Amino acid sequence: MSELLSGFATVLSPWNLLFAAIGVTVGTFVGVLPGIGPALTIALLLPITFSLDDPVGALIMFAGIYYGAMYGGSTTSILLNTPGESASVATSIEGYQMARRGRAHAALATAAIGSFVAGTISTVLLTLIARPVASLATSFRASDYFALAVLAMVCVTALVGSSVIRGLLSLSLGLFLGLIGIDSLTGQSRFTFGTLELLDGVGIVVVIVGLFAIGETLHVAARGDVPATVEPVRPTGGVLGWLSRDDWRRSWRPWLRGTAFGFPFGALPSGGAEIPTFLSYMYEKHRARGKGEFGKGAIEGVAGPEAANNAAFAGVLVPLLTLGIPTSATAAVLLAAFQIFNVQPGPQLFERSPDLVWALIASLYVGNVMLLVLNLPMIGLWVKVLQIPRPLLYAGILVFATLGVYAVSNSVVEVLIAYAIGVIGFFMRRYGFPLAPVILGVILGPLMEEQFRRALQIAGGDATVFVTRPLTVVLLSLAVVALVVPYLPGIVARSRGRRAGKLTFAEDD
Amino acid sequence: MRKTAATLVAGLMLGVAACGDTGGGSGDAVDYPTRTLQIMAPAGAGGGWDITARTIQKALKDGNLVTGSVEVSNVTGAAGTVGLAQLATKHKGDAHQLMITGLVMVGGVVTNKSAVDLTQTTPIATLTAEDEVIVVPASSPYQTLKDLVEAFKANPAGIKWGGGSAGGTDQILVGMLAKAAGIDPKQMNYIAYSGGGETKAGLLSGDLTAAVSGVGEFKDLVAGGQVRALAVSGAQGIDAGNGTPATTIKQAGYDVELQNWRGIVAPPGIKDGERAAIIALIDRLHESDAWKQAVTQQGWTDFYRSGDEAKAFYDSESARIRDVLVAAGVVA
Amino acid sequence: MPATSPSSSPSAAPEAETKTAAETETETESVVVAGIGPRIVAAVLVVAGGALAFVAWGELDGEPLAVGGPRFAPLLVTVLWTALAVVYLIRPAPVEVEPIGDRRSPLLLVAALVVYVLLLEPAGFAIASTLFFVAAAWILGSRRWLRDVVVAVPLAFGVYFAFTLGLDIRLPAGVLPI
């Protein structure tokens, strides 16, 4: 505890607070741009920090960038239905519906406050239980990861939407996109059609920018008769201005539950921030069953996923700091940053560089507060984005979408791939195919396949590995339960001789 | 001759673009660079090649080795072969476009069946290198590399080796080790992970018997006693984390030496004078304090060869790595 | 489907007049497409899935199909895709779509995008983006050229310099000596 306090003493200098403010601002800005996320930004800022003698300032700035970028990403998801990062896709589902109904202020506020709450709680967890969580996380073997991926897949299948068949077709598209490129286990190329550009696969950024930013713009263009702007409903006052009493009441539980999803998933090697956001969304939707507001802008569907993606960051730091294992792109860049300052994350880190670690942890608290302080007042300004005349707004989105893909890859071909996916996204919107399953397929598909084959390879081809290892068996059984439970009420009711409304996975509206 | 060509180019640039920056070549025999120097990192921002490129950029500026600007661009894809293809086609003959490369690209050219290989570029220099390390969990029965390789011989498929992506440095090393020990590399059970971090998790969870990665990756776990370093892959034993130099694979009795090196190349089709000028610039970079300081800060090992020596090294590595990958069955 | 039931077609309901602008905008009358559209989509999906399954089969290259190998998942996914598409072709589920107001604009936009990205390297980011921005705004219904140019130029050049100078990301300079 005294260590943490001395960490705060380090961080709370005017100079470092300035770094935190810069970080949050830069982060929010790049987060708003489609495709350009925290990992790239931090990587680009790394050389600048070479010349700093004291790594603390740089680390504080990086933490600020991460939190800022996560929040910035949710801003565009909510206002324009154009998430720039995979972790914001779940937010866009309800968030955009809220904005369309003039509730953009409330959506942005619940995202900001939820991020703060989740960030703070998960940082506390990081402070207290980093070590035990890390050793638990590294006990996961390949077969366990496979089982976990199956469980996650089953839990979020409900994202398939109103038509099961269309949802599954969307999922197939995502799974197919995830297969393109070099097979990571054998180095064989798949669906590359002899081109070098496809060897690395179609990046998730390209898919998201195409499907959402480009697809949405084409969709808007086809609607033709859209009004020039959407007039947001003025907030009616309330505790912090933007959230009504009812919004608070409905938000706080999803914040906490989102945190509970985000932190452990972040801590798992090959976990990441996307899966918990989808799990949180599904869980909130499940709980709200029957109230019928999901799909039309339910605040719970924004509060939960936003909390989850922020909580995941502190989770990601657990294996990074205690074992030197990066579990996300941003973490990998942070690891590079540590090494430049001659700090090797790992079991020795807490003994060897306690000042730095505790300063970093303290800077997470500070970055969180900074995010809230800077961004809550900004909400009014962000919502003004909606008052930009539509032609200019969407022309700008297309320029930034192109820029985002090109800046990362320097490749015209990748941009053309994003456009092609955009055209697919347009037709999916027109013919009622849900978009989220595509993202799910791209993320979970490779994870499932890779871990399944790796587990087989480790077991020497013996498939019994999936039924003999206790953790694997437990996770797979949970998956089966999750698959069956939604049908249970119907089955039970039928066995009692009553006709009950059948509750299916595809329940919607 | 060299001077006239360079002056001509400089004059041309001045005339055409009217943004004359003729570099700081006073007194030197060469006039290079005469305009913005472009360094391509054929991978994403934040990786080893990118950091190398940006370190060069910074050292060139800090050491006042060039007065014009130096820009870094990232071309991602396929172990650098996408960048390599661009260098050989789009930038052919452009002496102001350099590219970072390394052992990983040599392997990538083979595994990705790239149409362009490194011998088609103009090698300038090799810069840095990192040793590989072979580690086992602390609880492993294998105390030395010999123990491990004996068990490997007795049951080649029983040892689960883990490391980076298929066809990468780590798998190349295991393949070489198998060959040196008289085991058919095709029989090895190599489990590929997407990076050092995942490999680490695989070793700690008990999925793997042994793991191979860059020395830096496992240093802290070795120091913390969670894993045991059996051998390093360079010519000299270096500290793998526990404070004393680890044995090399050669010392353990297997004729294998492999380092994950990085270097810099120019496009094909540049003039001899330009090549000499670039080599001279990189020579001066290597001598500069700014570079030396950066190398220390990054924890890199100096591995400098330039000019013809670099060319010979690039050629021999290309041939050697192809042989190993073919023997290991990664490529036909 | 709900779109035809009174409860969920609010624009036809009497209380529509009391709705805010935002709400009316979101609930433009949907139409149920049960005609030829979904079937064409399904047919395209069948053909695409089949072609990809064929490619996946070709990539096997005569090797035996192993569950733990790299060729299993591609076949599994593409065959599944094709099967689902066939089911959808036979029984396309009805779908609600907003009436299409404009067929020309999306096509023009796609064409503009392709020209934009092809111009990016030869003409440079700033010029290509300025031209594209103005063109895209026109396609999307703006008829105020001057305003669009006044917005486009600072946007394109501002982004160019922010990226090249601020973030050190190289963007093509193209024909401009910048």
The pLDDT confidence band at residue A292, using thresholds 50, 70 and 90, is low
Averaged confidence pLDDT in chain A: 79
Residue B2, pLDDT score:
41
Q: Which residue has the higher pLDDT, B198 or C83?
A: C83
- Chains with 3 or more CB pairs closer than 8 angstroms to C? A, B
Task: List, in order, residues 6 or more apart from B232 with CB less than 8 Å away.
Answer: B131, B132, B133, B134, B215, B238, B240, B246, B247, B248, B249
Residue A238, pLDDT score:
46
β partners of residue B231 = B134
What would the mean pLDDT of A462-482 be, rounded to a whole number? 86
The pLDDT confidence band at residue C140, using thresholds 50, 70 and 90, is confident
List pLDDT tens digits, range A98-154: 888 878 888 888 888 888 889 889 888 888 877 777 777 778 888 888 888 888 788
**In-domain check, residue C8:** no
- For residue A445, the chain C residues in CB contact (below 8 A) are 73, 77
CA-nearest of A320, A294, A305, A321 to A261 is A305
Q: How far apart are CA B68 and CA B25, in angstroms?
A: 11
List pLDDT tens digits, range B43-65: 776 667 887 888 888 888 887 77
The count of domains in chain C is: 2
Q: Is the pLDDT score of A502 beyond 50?
A: no
The count of domains in chain A is: 1
> Mind telling me how many Å the CA of C169 is from chain B's nearest CA?
7
Q: What topology does CATH give the domain B2-121+267-311?
A: D-Maltodextrin-Binding Protein; domain 2 (3.40.190)
- Among chain B residues, the shortest Cα distance to C121 is held by B90
- For residue C70, the chain A residues in CB contact (below 8 A) are 183, 185-186, 188, 190, 453
C170–B73: do the CB atoms touch at under 8 Å? yes
- For residue C11, the chain A residues in CB contact (below 8 A) are none
Q: Is the pLDDT score of B7 beyond 50?
A: no
B260 membership: H or E segment, kind and range: strand B259-266
Residue A418, pLDDT score:
92
- Chain A, 202-241: which have a CB under 8 Å from a chain C CB? 214, 217-218, 220-227, 230-233
A422 is in which domain, residue-wise?
A: 2-495
Of the ranges B59-68, B283-292, C106-115, the best mean pLDDT one? C106-115
B19–C168: do the CB atoms touch at under 8 Å? no
**In-domain check, residue A507:** no
Residue A314, pLDDT score:
83
* Interchain contact A100–C (C-beta under 8 A): yes
**In-domain check, residue C173:** no
Query: What is the identity of the amino acid at B214?
Result: G
β partners of residue B98 = B39
Averaged confidence pLDDT in chain B: 80
**In-domain check, residue A387:** yes
Residue C71 φ then ψ, to 5°: -100, -5
- Chain B, 116-155: which have a CB under 8 Å from a chain A CB? none
Name the percent of chain B lying above pLDDT 90: 10
- Chain A, 374-433: which have a CB under 8 Å from a chain C CB? 389-392, 394-396, 398-400, 402-403, 406-407, 410, 412, 415-416, 419, 422-423, 426-427, 430-432
Q: Which residue has the higher pLDDT, A179 or C167?
A: A179
What would the mean pLDDT of A309-324 be, rounded to a whole number? 82
Q: How far apart are CA B249 and CA B237, in angstroms?
A: 9
C70–A188: do the CB atoms touch at under 8 Å? yes
Q: How far apart are CA A414 and CA A190, in angstroms?
A: 17
Using CB atoms, pick whichever of A183, A325, A344 lies closest to residue B201.
A325
Q: Is the pLDDT score of A93 beyond 90?
A: no
Same domain, C64 and C110: no
**In-domain check, residue A247:** yes
Same domain, C83 and C123: no
* Interchain contact C177–B (C-beta under 8 A): yes
Same domain, C109 and C163: yes
Residue C80, pLDDT score:
93
β partners of residue C61 = none
Note the helical H segments in chain B. Answer: 2-17, 48-62, 81-89, 103-111, 145-154, 169-180, 196-205, 215-223, 272-287, 289-298, 308-327
Tokens for B84? 């390599």
CA-nearest of A500, A483, A438, A433 to A164 is A433
Task: List, in order, residues 6 or more apart from A83 with CB less than 8 Å away.
Answer: A34, A73, A74, A76, A77, A89, A91, A92, A208, A212
**In-domain check, residue A361:** yes
Name the percent of chain A lying above pLDDT 90: 6
Name the CATH architecture for the domain at B130-259: 3-Layer(aba) Sandwich (3.40)
Q: Are C82 and A169 in contact (CB under 8 A)?
A: no
C-alpha radius of gyration, chain B, whole number = 21
Using CB atoms, pick whichever of C77, C117, C152 lies closest to residue A179.
C77
CB neighbours (10 Å) of residue B196? 23
Same domain, C89 and C111: no
- For residue C148, the chain A residues in CB contact (below 8 A) are 391-392, 395
Give the mutation candidate from B75, B109, B112, B116 for the A interface (greatest A CB count, under 10 A): B112
Domains of chain B, by residue range, sit at 2-121+267-311, 130-259
Same domain, C50 and C84: yes
Same domain, C129 and C90: no
> Mind telling me how many Å the CA of C15 is from chain A's nearest CA?
16
**In-domain check, residue C116:** yes
Of the ranges A43-57, A230-244, A419-433, the best mean pLDDT one? A419-433
> Mind telling me how many Å the CA of A293 is from chain C's nearest CA?
13
- Final residue before a domain boundary, out of C67, C97, C127: C97
A183–C70: do the CB atoms touch at under 8 Å? yes
Q: Is the pLDDT score of B210 beyond 80?
A: yes
For chain B, which residues lie within 8 Å of any Cβ of chain C, measuring from their own Cβ? Answer: 17-19, 38, 71-73
C71 is in which domain, residue-wise?
A: 33-97
List pLDDT tens digits, range B291-312: 888 787 777 788 888 888 888 8
Q: What is the DSSP string of C112-175?
A: HHHHHHHHHHHH-HHHHHHHHHHHHHHHTT---HHHHHHHHHHHHHHHHHIIIIII------TT
Note the helical H segments in A33-163. Answer: 38-49, 55-80, 89-100, 104-137, 142-156
- Final residue before a domain boundary, out of C55, C80, C97: C97
**In-domain check, residue C69:** yes
Same domain, C109 and C151: yes
Same domain, C112 and C130: yes
B72–C177: do the CB atoms touch at under 8 Å? no
Q: Of the given ranges (A340-354, A374-388, C49-63), which has the lowest mean pLDDT?
A: A340-354
Residue A426, pLDDT score:
92
List pLDDT tens digits, range B101-148: 988 888 888 877 777 788 888 888 888 888 889 999 999 999 989 999
C97 membership: H or E segment, kind and range: strand C95-97
Q: How far apart are CA B105 and CA B275, in angstroms?
A: 22
- Final residue before a domain boundary, out of C75, C97, C119: C97
Q: How far is CA A252 from CA A385, B153, C158, in A?
A: 27, 60, 40
Task: List, in order, residues 6 or more apart from A283 with CB less than 8 Å away.
Answer: A257, A261, A304
**In-domain check, residue A310:** yes
